[in-house]
Amino acid sequence: MLKKYKLVSIVYGGSGSKYADKMNKLILSRSEDQRYPITSKIVMESVLTGDLLTNVTELFTQTEYCLAFLTADDCCIKNGEEVYRIRQNVVFELGMAIYRLGREKCILLSDFDPTQRNIDLPSDLKGIDIKYFSPENMEQVFSDVLDKILKLSSQNNNGEIPQYDKLLERTEHYVDYEDLFSACSQLDSKEDVYLKAVLNYWLDECASFNHFEERCLYFLERIGFISMFGRNDWVDAFMEKIKGLTSNYRQQDIAYCGKKSVSFIRNLSSVVREYVQSKIRNEHVDYESLLNMLLMEPAEESGVKNPLALTVYYDYLGLLHLHLYETQKKEFHIKEATNCFKKVVDDYADYTDLGLKIWSGFVGYNLARCYLIQFGLWGNAEDGKNMQRYFATASVIRKSWLKQNGFNQIIRSALSYEYFVCKIDEINSNTLSNGKTAEEIKQEYKMLERELENFMLKSEQLERLVFIQELLARRQSDMASNTPIAEETL
């Protein structure tokens, strides 16, 4: 899962400028060469204008670690003796950093021996380890400090130092989908306010990545949730800004990823963005054109092995074929859609998720819909079994989403819509295949109705659930009057 680069703020005063610059270049070069998700800023260069206190405070709220260079630049008289002190701006900024980050995330370095008698340090700093370096060992000390920061950043990553190297060539890309929303868990619970804050947070994170493939994959990690934010102008504005971040790659990106791979991930991001944006705007979607765009740069020829990218590719390829079948009724499209969804479920979905099976829940439902259509076309018993199996599996997965405490209530409400739609279709599939008696199906409808009523009492996003309530009522009415299942649920 891609997360915002960890920021190291570098504090210095007076003659520490040359050390701060050297450390800053070391961090940025190591990040670029080895693709560690880390970056740095020199505090004095970042807050030269405006309200200094406000800007420093804001910088430290974004900071993960602080490096402070202590240099004895000020001379003063204390108890009749000449002593040297570090610059007062360093004391001030370091105090703010310790308050914000804690001692363990603040690393102090000095080019003098802090135990010398003529060095006057604030008493609060005497309990903190200060790393002394000399011209002879400076490079080694700086490198060791950076290694320490990287190891500290691995504490929440099972001891492995995170790297974003060769992302398109990886055969695993696990995402903690609960964590997608955790950064906004304390925000205002009013729906629009919360959802806008989530998108703003995602946009800032996406823009922070240095490399093109990182921004594209970050966007694709979240694409399955975008429709849940509704058809709002601010969602469309978010997608427009994402377009700007995922449209143009550089020569460096081609050199690192390869022309075919970077072109593939760009094209994939463009197609899914255009598809989703057309839905947000309630515009006509040119499914044929989008399908041709995907097929022009096929995954098989791209060299991309990343399972998240391939999951999104085959899912949207399947969706486009499915939409074209619905409009053209050509059997070719429903067969292709089935093959695409099955490929995701069999080959890729298990390598993209840490436990919630988000893509299995999305794509498994689409695959069940394909088998439902095929069963209606040809009456094949195997299609009927597959239809029931994938509907049942998708229903179980989607119901588990509603029990996750990491999701805000608004997100759980949106996910509940996905569950109830799937569950209704599962019940309908049993009606079509005669898998259960009429009485058993009536009881399932009643149980689902009670489940929906209980959930709506807790929900703050009722519009889509009201649609589910109306749909459920129609299904029960249709069953009572022996009316065939309407196309709207297929």
Domain that holds residue 473: 377-490
Number of structural domains in the chain: 3
Residue 448 in any domain: the answer is yes
- Encode pLDDT of 389-412 as tens digits: 999 999 999 999 988 877 887 888
Average of per-residue pLDDT values in the chain:
87
Percent of the chain with pLDDT over 90: 56
Asked if 83 and 195 sit in the same domain, the reply is: no
pLDDT given for residue 460 in this prediction: 47
- Distance between CA atoms of 54 and 50, rounded to whole angstroms? 8
- Distance between CA atoms of 108 and 118, rounded to whole angstroms? 19
Asked if 232 and 202 sit in the same domain, the reply is: yes
Look at residue 199 and tell me whether its pLDDT is greater than 90. Answer: yes
Distance (Å) of CA 427 to CA 345, 393, 421, 445, 467: 22, 13, 10, 8, 17
- Encode pLDDT of 397-455 as tens digits: 999 998 887 788 788 888 888 999 999 999 888 888 777 788 888 888 888 888 887 77
Asked if 148 and 175 sit in the same domain, the reply is: no
**221 or 112: which carries more pLDDT confidence?**
221
Tell me 330's DSSP state.
-
- Residue 483: enclosing H or E segment and its boundaries? none
- Encode pLDDT of 140-196 as tens digits: 999 999 999 998 887 666 667 889 999 999 999 999 888 888 767 666 667 778 889
Residue 162 in any domain: the answer is no
- Distance between CA atoms of 196 and 229, rounded to whole angstroms? 9
Asked if 339 and 474 sit in the same domain, the reply is: no
Asked if 448 and 339 sit in the same domain, the reply is: no
**Parallel, antiparallel, or unpaired for β 72-78 and 81-86?**
antiparallel
What b/e sequence results for 385-409 when a residue is b if at least 16 CB atoms lie within 10 Å of its CB, and e otherwise? Answer: ebbbebbbbbbbbbbebbeeeebbe
Residue 369 in any domain: the answer is no
Asked if 344 and 484 sit in the same domain, the reply is: no
CATH number of residue 41's parent domain = 3.40.50.450
Amino acid letter for position 461: Q
- Distance between CA atoms of 19 and 31, rounded to whole angstroms? 18
> Distance between terminal CA atoms of the chain?
33
168: Cβ contacts below 8 Å, ≥ 6 apart: 213, 257, 261, 262, 265, 303, 304, 305, 306, 309
Asked if 319 and 459 sit in the same domain, the reply is: no
- Distance between CA atoms of 271 and 189, rounded to whole angstroms? 32
- Encode pLDDT of 81-133 as tens digits: 777 778 888 888 888 888 888 888 999 998 887 667 666 677 666 667 789 99
Q: Identify the weakest region by mean pLDDT among 5-19, 57-71, 234-248.
A: 57-71
